[in-house]
Amino acid sequence: MANTERDFTIAEIDRIIEMAWEDRTPFDAIEYQFGLTEDKVKALMKRELKPSSYRLWRTRVENCKTKHAKKRSEEIGRFKCSRQRSITGNKISKR
């Protein structure tokens, strides 16, 4: 069963926002880890960011080929950065 936005802790919301800002992290990775579709990520970002920050993010996402799995190069097969700490299941790793 997928989580709804109201189930997320502050730390999880921060991680979702961080993943959404990362160019190499596709929406599929956020959906896999947190159960949020692209539309729900956009709604969360709109709610959590200042209006100007949200507009900058939306412009960035629309022009970023790596945020959408269908637009990604076939050479990029993973959605986890090699420098990222291990994330097990749906739990955020300790920082």
Per-residue pLDDT band for 36 (boundaries 50, 70, 90) equals very high
Q: What is the mean pLDDT of residues 13-38?
A: 91
Between CA 46 and CA 90 the distance in angstroms is 23
This prediction has a pTM of 0.66
Map out the domains of the chain as residue ranges. Answer: 5-71
Q: At what angle do helices 27-34 and 10-21 cross, to 10 degrees?
A: 160
Beta-carbon-side half-sphere exposure of residue 23 (alpha carbons within 13 Å): 6
Span 43-94, pLDDT tens digits: 999 999 999 999 999 998 888 877 765 555 555 555 555 555 555 554 555 5
Closest among 45, 80, 78, 75 to 60, alpha carbons compared:
45
Confirm if 26 and 72 have CB atoms less than 8 A apart.
yes
